[in-house]
Amino acid sequence: MRSEVQAFVADGPLPDVEASEKEIERRERQLAAVSPPVTSEEAAALAACFGPDDCYGLAWTLVHLIETAPGPVPRISDPGPDAGDWAGVLRARWGGDRGLAAI
């Protein structure tokens, strides 16, 4: 796994919209440092990094990055009904609940 992915994953899930601007920008820089395509292993690790909401669009960036991986889509914990449109897109693109594991 590339060091950029390891650094992003090590910081855990994306923060919610209540996070400081500095924190949002830091996570945005981390995510931008990961060049696509990602490996299946990297996609699975990144899939654990969704937060409770769209984090000012960073969840969408994460979705698109994960989609660059070859092979099957990693299972992602269902973020719940308040996560935003990105979670619905994941459900639609990845076969309903097949790609999302219930919390």
What angle is formed at CA 26 by the lines to CA 10 and CA 86, rounded to 5 degrees? 80
The pTM of the full predicted model, rounded to 2 decimals, is 0.80
* CA distance linking residue 74 with residue 67, whole number of Å: 10
- Residue 21, pLDDT above cutoff 50: yes
pLDDT averaged over every residue in the chain? 83
100 φ, ψ (degrees, to nearest 5): -115, 125
Token pair of 40 as six digits: 């299946």
* CA distance linking residue 28 with residue 74, whole number of Å: 22
Give the residues across from 100 on adjacent strands.
76
Question: What are the boundaries of each domain within the chain?
Answer: 3-101
At residue 85, the pLDDT reads: 76
How would you class 71 by CB atoms within 10 Å of its CB: exposed for 0-12, middle for 13-18, buried for 19 or more? exposed
pLDDT band at 32 (very low <50, low <70, confident <90, very high): very high
